[in-house]
Amino acid sequence: PVLKSIRFGHPVLVGASEELPDYDFGPLINAKKVEELRVHIGEALAKNAVSLFEGSLDESLFLPEQDISSYFGPVSLMNLASNCHLYHNEPFGPVDTIVLVDRVEELVNEMNVSNGALVSSVACDDPKLARQIASQVRAFKVGINVMRSRGDREECFGGIGQSWKGCFVGGKYLVQATTVGEPGERLYGNFPDYVLLPPER
């Protein structure tokens, strides 16, 4: 029901007196990224992943003859083989992959399988357990019983492990990363020789 309710289309395709549509997401970066996602999804399905949902584009939500090659309907997959691209790599598109586990240790291991993430979230009825799990997740930002996003332009943004290389940005950190600072100043970021995390993420 949640995936079926996701809405996307042309963001200003309305009449003069109509409100702008409240869409959940827009297009991917380009059509090539759509094709890459299709290849990765096809690989997962060929290796016995279970397709729980495959969305489609509603052409009535786009302009006539609009190029919609960079739009992609939401997809949800379960039981991915460990040698699939989507098992180890975050898809930059509306694709959810679900992994079933029996123990907390397995959950933490699966959440960290990609060796670092930009953003993650943990949902749990036990707040103490949720905090314990969150403390072991290798993500730059972790939401506990709330959806966590990269934040706005004033909020620090970066990644852990292989998900991010270089200076962290956002707000004052973007200014620090793009201006000349004090001699010997160590920038906040993920570098080959050191990692310096900001106090607030």
54-78 per-position pLDDT tens digit: 988 888 888 888 999 999 999 999 9
Query: Residues 86, 41: contact at Cβ < 8 Å?
Result: yes
The more confident residue out of 50 and 181 is 50
* Whether residue 149 has pLDDT greater than 70: yes
The average confidence (pLDDT) of the chain is 89
* Whether residue 153 has pLDDT greater than 70: no
- Give bridge partners of residue 78 from the DSSP assignment: 50, 98
2-15 per-position pLDDT tens digit: 788 888 888 878 77
CATH placement of domain 1-99: 3.40.309.10
Whole-number Cα distances in Å, 172 to 58, 93, 159, 162, 180: 41, 29, 17, 24, 13
* Whether residue 152 has pLDDT greater than 70: no
Cα–Cα distance, 116 to 36 (Å, whole number) = 21
Query: Per-domain residue ranges for the chain?
Result: 1-99
DSSP class of 162: G
The stretch 78-85 carries a mean pLDDT of: 94
Between strands 139-144 and 117-122, the pairing is parallel
Residue matched to tokens 């990609």: 114
Sign of CA dihedral 169, 174, 179, 180: negative
What pLDDT, on a 0 to 100 scale, did the predictor assign at position 161?
87
Residue among 98, 118, 116 at smallest CA distance from 107: 98
- Give bridge partners of residue 195 from the DSSP assignment: 190
What band does 79 get if pLDDT is binned at 50, 70 and 90?
Answer: very high
The stretch 131-143 carries a mean pLDDT of: 93
164-179 per-position pLDDT tens digit: 999 999 888 888 889 9
The more confident residue out of 24 and 81 is 81
Please indicate, yes or no, whether the overall pTM of this predicted structure exceeds 0.75: yes
